[in-house]
A and B are shown apart, each in its own frame.
Chain A
Amino acid sequence: MSLTNRFKNRLIAKVITRYPSIAQRFISAYEPWESGEAVPWSPPQKPLSACKLALVTTSGVHHTAQEPFDMQDSDGDPTFRMIDGATIANDYKITHDYYDHSDAEKDLNIILPLDRLRELQQEGVIDQLAETHYSFMGHIDGRHIATLIGQTAKQVVEKLKQDQVDVVLLTPA
């Protein structure tokens, strides 16, 4: 994707963030992929105060030393980055041309609410906050949908299971 197109995408992102009526046109023009399968369902088995929680976001946030998400591919990027909850607030970059992240750069909690979750952990609302969280860049289309469903999402699920996470909060952008 050319620099001109990336600039255009960022400009559109700023406009649709500021003007919801214009955003609605973009939303209506896109058809998300539907599996047609039954909705996965797992009822909570224990109180939240006994649960370990992790975040999975599609906001495109990552550590500065990590490889940025691919913004050259018009179909996006189905890979994920592992986020260290202890250091991310002081060491992050957002690579995502399809929304205006200037506010998230002022306060990461609006896309990754780690401070709020730490407070709730201290209050005993949740038992544990995972040390590792997971970040995707939410523009995933075309051939990358199969990679997300068949590979990368499954990898994240496996890592969450290994970490004995009970509850995941998904945050978009």
Chain B
Amino acid sequence: MGVTIVREYTEKVQPPRSVYLKWPFGHPLGEPGNVKQQRAVVLEAFKALYTITTPGEIVDLPFKWRRHDYNSYEEPGPFVPRS
């Protein structure tokens, strides 16, 4: 699965599964030193791996650039195949 920061290109190239963040170039996992933010993006990508059922689907993540409180983020999991 992939992280994308340019939704328009991902819609055309169509990798199997993506999570989209409206964030600046060079920051697919967020800001330097922001461990909670980086962890949240990785976990949301994992979640997308197991929940996306339509090839090429893009999940829009709700994290606002520099305006999201990750202290209240509820971590997803466990990550298991659909039965």
Contact = CB atoms under 8 A, between A and B. Distances in A.
B2 A169 contact: yes
Contact of A110 (B38, B43, B77): B38
Interface string A14-33: 00111010010001101111
Interface in A22-58: 23, 27-28, 30-35, 38-49
- The listed residue with most B CB atoms (<10 A of its CB), out of A34, A35, A48, A99, is A48
A103 B32 contact: yes
A88 interface: no
A31 B49 CA distance: 27
Contacts of A49: 78-79
A170 B5 CA distance: 12
Contacts, number: 128
Contacts of A32: 9, 12-13
Given A110-B30, A116-B29, A169-B2, 17 more contacts: A13-B25, A23-B24, A32-B13, A33-B13, A34-B13, A38-B55, A41-B16, A46-B81, A49-B78, A103-B27, A110-B31, A110-B32, A113-B38, A116-B35, A116-B42, A167-B49, A172-B3
29 contacts: A17-B24, A20-B22, A27-B9, A30-B9, A33-B13, A34-B13, A39-B55, A41-B55, A44-B49, A45-B81, A46-B81, A47-B81, A48-B79, A59-B26, A103-B32, A107-B32, A109-B38, A110-B31, A113-B29, A116-B42, A117-B42, A170-B2, A170-B15, A171-B28, A172-B3, A172-B4, A172-B28, A173-B26, A173-B28
Interface of B: 1-6, 8-9, 12-16, 22, 24-33, 35, 38-39, 41-43, 45-46, 49-50, 55-56, 77-82
Interface of A: 13, 16-18, 20, 23, 27-28, 30-35, 38-49, 59, 99-101, 103-104, 106-107, 109-111, 113, 115-117, 119-120, 125, 167-173
